[in-house]
Structure 1
Amino acid sequence: MVIYLDVLILINLYVTYFQILAVSVFTHRKTVWYRKLSAAGIGAVASLSIFIPQEMVLTLTLLKIFLCALIAFVAFGYTGFRAYAVSVLFLMLVSFVFSGLMLCVWLFAAPMKMLFINGTVYFGVDTMTIILSTCAAYGVVRIIRYILDKNGKTDGKYTVIIKNNGRECRLSALADSGNGIVDCFSGLPVIVCRRDMCADVSPPAIEMIENNSDISEIGTQMIKGVRIMPFSTVGKGGLICMFKAESVVIDDETNEEKYPVNALIGIVIGGRQEYEAIFNPKILV
């Protein structure tokens, strides 16, 4: 069977892009389109491994692991070892499931003009069939994620435990699906906290920003580690300062379970909120 390089690369560009979307859905990690496209491009080029002799098992295995790590880094960035490791593992899982499905199709259905070698798939079929099949698979992933999110707990009693700079604070928290604030750079969800309740663990720069009406007067070095982003809700808007704490754990006191979460802590500048902390229950699933 003749393999056309342009078809091989385009198919695997498309497949890798949807694999990254699946990882994004499962881990709630949002990322910009050009990062996903760049990562998918790496996967497309990696499809050339179809020409590596299958006897080189160790080389192929190490190559696949390296490519998953590289694709996850390009798609989602590095926001800490735990978050990065989760992204890599989920990408490996999605790739493994996809490879298993393709192997089953190849062995049992044996469609004409299809090759599956070294974990790389090649179809000699029309483009519309590929598009519909991939969209269907992605739709299944979305349905699974929706079912899991529907089971998110919103009526429990929660405490957010934040550790940073050798200090710790505990905030009573509300699980609210209306909190959809996400850092536009890392894609991490944001737990909105009251400034006065987490002053001990917050970077000093946040107090400087809150007390200074002109943020431009504050040097960039002084606000290192703090990200400022505009936000809007029903009836109000403003600025929110976000930072990455050393550890964030949500304690579900109702079910006596603790959830280490990968999230940013957000402080609304000049804001006054009723609850000590508000988080989206999706991060518990």
Structure 2
Amino acid sequence: MKLVMVMYIYVDVLLILNLYVNYFLLLATGRLMHLPCGRKRCIAAAAVGSLCALTIFLPPMHWALCTLLRFAMGVPVVWICFGRRMRLRDVVCFFVVSMGFGGAMLAVSLWRRPVGMAFNNASLYLDFSPACLLICTVAAYALTCGIRFLVDRSTMTQGHYRVVIRYGPRVIGMEALADSGNLLMDRLSGKPVILCGGAELEQLVQLEGNLTDPAAYAAMAMHCKGMRLIPCATVTGSGVVPVFAPDEVLICEACSGARKPVDALIGIQQERDGAIFNPKLLI
């Protein structure tokens, strides 16, 4: 007599699990590619991607058809998350991260055959423990950050660059220097800071007086999105730097004409000209 094990798959658990997984896959892609990843857009993209998990109810498909279906669903998901900043290599990175996760889940399903887990047509269902899922997510994201750190440490870039900043209807460009010594980062958002001269930024935002003066800073904070002060240390001492969030930042390589959209804040240094950015942003 042949015994058949019956497993119930709940659609709500399936969609919530894949929404959660897709959200962190997109976060990992944004982290690896230094792409801005807004929370609302990321959730919307993850929700669209979770619908692909419904293929788990279909009969097992050929791997080529399954890959084609995933690609057809994956490109819109990446576009929803990153918008027009999306490049082909960003899509490739998302699929590499997704395949790594899918391969790990397939290996677990073949090796341990855990109760409450189903993996079919590259779709995962897991009757999960929230604590276990949280631990696995933290571990996977820590691994992603570790890979990003190792790649950043080995980065060496040289060239002639320009930084293009868009804020509202205004767009400005300025000469820029790639300097690994610019380690300035906003602790609140985790975003790197591109230091820009106040003379150039006057064409973009309204600068009134010395921004270290509380009154001048308060006046400018009314016009700049996300304006705040962050601590800054240099060889000559320490202080604070006003930073704000632009609508878009591009780093352009003068010789090749290549343009790289980056997720960074703009720091204002009134006494300098041009811009300084960390070359990690070019990866």
Deviation of 1:53 after TM superposition, in Å, equals 2.7
1:136-193 per-position Cα deviation (integer Å, ceiling 9, x unaligned) = 222211222233334455xx86532579xxxx98655433433447xx9xx9977545
Structure 2 gap segments, 5+ residues each: 1-6, 165-172, 210-222, 232-239
How far did residue 25 of structure 1 move?
A: 1.4
- 1:129 counterpart letter in structure 2: C
Matched, 1:42 2:45: no
Alignment partner, residue 254 of structure 1: none
Q: Deviations over 1:72-130 (max 9, x none)?
A: 12222212xxx432322211111111111111111222223321101111123433323
SS in 2 for 1:178: coil
* Deviation digits for residues 26-82 of structure 1 (CA, Å, limit 9, x no counterpart): 112232222222222122222111122323655533321122112112222212xxx
Decide which of 177, 182, 192 is 2:182's aligned counterpart.
Answer: 177
C-alpha separation in 1, matches of 2:252 and 2:178: 13
User: 1:173 touches 1:276 (CA, 8 Å); kept in 2?
Assistant: no
User: Is contact 2:245–2:264 with CA below 8 Å preserved after alignment?
Assistant: no
What is the aligned partner in structure 2 of residue 248 from structure 1? Answer: 252
2: CA distance between counterparts of 1:19 and 1:208?
A: 35
| Whole-angstrom distance in 2 between the partners of 1:122 and 1:268 | 45
Pairing of 1:199-218 with structure 2 (within 5 A): 207=203
The residue type equivalent to 1:145 in the other structure is: R
State the Cα RMSD in Å.
4.1
Matches within 5 A, 1:17-28: 17-28=23-34
1:122-161 alignment runs, 5 A limit:
122-152=125-155, 159-161=160-162
Q: Distance in 1 between matches of 2:135 and 2:265?
A: 40
Percent identity of paired positions between Structure 1 and Structure 2: 26
TM-score (norm 1): 0.67
TM-score by length of 2: 0.67
Residue identity in the other structure for 1:248: C
**Structure 1 gap ranges (5+):** 214-226, 252-257
The 5-angstrom pairing of residues 61-210 of structure 1 reads 61-79=67-85, 83-152=86-155, 159-161=160-162, 171-180=176-185, 191-194=194-197, 207=203
Question: Secondary structure in 1 aligned to 2:87?
Answer: helix
The count of corresponding residues between Structure 1 and Structure 2 is 247
